[in-house]
Amino acid sequence: MRCSEASKQIQLYLDNQLSLRQVRELEAHIAVCASCQQELSSLEEMVESLNGFGMVAEPAYLTIAIMQRVAMSTQQYDTRTFKLWRPSLRELIAAVILATITTMGIILGQPALRAVLPIANGHDPVSLFFLNILQILTTTGGDTISLILWIGGTILGICITLALAGSEVRTQWYKTMMEHLPVR
């Protein structure tokens, strides 16, 4: 038996956890190995000195104090609710504006629905603006529309990501963008 194996088994030997065969092998090794004899005697002295200590009685209030702390920590976690998105007033206004633009685009894109509404009949300034944009989009080439949609989708994706990310991430993003933009 090697000293490394014996060293692993000495504590089990002291705790009477070894089989008879393992005990015989360990005792045979210890009989011829001075370093393992020293380790065994050191551990035996330590066990004897530890056995000399009496049991320490815990205070009567210890269990109650621990249970109160556990209950308080559980209450702290239960009362906190996690909200993914807490929109600010600017974010709410932006969402309302985007929803209005989308709704106007849908209304102006359907002639039957546009004819029923008094404000989207093509004579008010808002309808004329949207109709002009719609006409520009339909007369331009597919590559231009793809580019416009890609840029719009990217900007919208950034806005949605920043809205859901939280104020710390938005602040960090804004600082990073300001650092990378050229100074005029």
Q: Which of 18-32, 135-149, 164-178 has the highest mean pLDDT?
A: 18-32
E strands, 57-168, in order: none
For the stretch 121-138, pLDDT in tens is 666 777 777 778 777 777
Q: Cα–Cα distance between 126 and 104 in angstroms, integer?
A: 9
Rounded to two decimals, what is the model's pTM?
0.32
pLDDT at 173: 79
Q: pLDDT of 10-26, one tens digit each?
A: 888 888 888 899 989 99
Mean pLDDT, to the nearest integer, of 128-152?
78
Q: Smallest Cα–Cα separation from 147: which of 137, 161, 157?
A: 137
Contact (CB, 8 A) for 114 and 107: yes
pLDDT at 29 over 60: yes
Which pair of structure tokens corresponds to residue 170?
């938005």
